[in-house]
Amino acid sequence: MTKIDRKISMNDRIAQIEESLDDDKASDIVTLDIGKQSDFAQRMIIAGGDSQRQLVAMAYHLKSLFKEWGEESSIQGLETDSGWIVLDGGDIVVHLLVPEKRDLYSIEKIWSSAFEKVGETVAVA
């Protein structure tokens, strides 16, 4: 297996993450540019899944993608049937939620109050 160039741009990494999520039938994929407002990440991606099983599959596919880039990542929320899994890839954080949890926590609404939406990606205003 050939490794992807470790100097892959942020935009290319985001595109590959969004493509992986789309391939896994994720719903309502939202990307937030939080770099100017956050000291823990540059981008936050929020996506929906129909079940915990689907969320777990998406998380492992994304973890493999980060590994291909030579990036460390960790996954939280696999042990329980919480309906919310977080993949921390350093400068990219991915939240995967079932619809009920996404509605309950409204992560993108909380974060996007400080952002201006541009296409499917939300950029800092």
> Within a domain: residue 81?
yes
**This prediction's pTM:** 0.83
> Within a domain: residue 4?
no
Cβ atoms 108, 61 nearer than 8 A: no
Tally of domains in the chain: 1
CB within 8 A of 117, min separation 6: which ones? Answer: 123
> Within a domain: residue 45?
yes
CATH number at residue 76: 3.30.460.10
Count of Cβ atoms closer than 10 Å to residue 114 Cβ: 13
> Within a domain: residue 112?
yes
Residue type, 93: V
Q: What is the pLDDT of residues 53-99, one digit of tens each?
A: 999 999 999 999 999 999 999 999 988 889 999 999 999 999 999 99
The whole domain housing 17 covers 10-124
